[in-house]
Amino acid sequence: MSKKPKTKGSRTILWWVMWIVMTIVSFFLAAWLWTPIIASQFGSIHQNRNAVLWVTAVFGTWMVILVPLIVVMYMKVDKVYGLRRKNKTLNRK
C-alpha cells in the first residue's frame, strides 16, 4: 500500500481546523486564567459587579490572544490569493 501525498487542499483544511480549535481553546484558557483570580480577589463571579469584571477580563485577554491568530490567518490567506492571482495571470498568457 502506498500513501498518497498530502495535497495543498488537505493542508489548507487542516490549517483551518487548527485555527478554529486554537480560537476556542484560547477562550477557555482566558476563562481558566481569570475565574480563580477574580473569585479569590473579589468574591463570587455570580455577583453582577464581578460578572462584568470577569467578562471584561476574559474577553479582553481573549482578544489579546486572538489578534495574533487573526493576523497570521490573514497573512496565510493573502499569500494563497496572491499565488492564485499570479497563476491566473500566467495561464492567460
Give the residue among 69, 67, 68, 44 at the shortest CA–CA distance from 54.
44
Does residue 1 belong to any structural domain of this protein?
no
Here the cell at position 66 is 486572538
Does residue 60 belong to any structural domain of this protein?
yes
Count of the separate structural domains present in the chain: 1
* Longest distance between any two alpha carbons in the chain, whole Å: 69
Does residue 57 belong to any structural domain of this protein?
yes
Does residue 3 belong to any structural domain of this protein?
no
Asked if residues 50 and 36 have their Cβ atoms less than 8 Å apart, the reply is no
Buried b (16+ CB within 10 A) or exposed e, 59-82: eebbeebbeeeeeeeeeeeeeeee
Give the pLDDT confidence score for residue 86 in this predicted structure. 80
What does pLDDT average to in each consecutive run of 10 residues of the chain (93 residues)? 60 81 92 94 90 94 90 83 79 68
Does residue 54 belong to any structural domain of this protein?
yes
What residues make up the domain containing 71?
Answer: 8-92
Give the pLDDT confidence score for residue 9 in this predicted structure. 64
Does residue 2 belong to any structural domain of this protein?
no
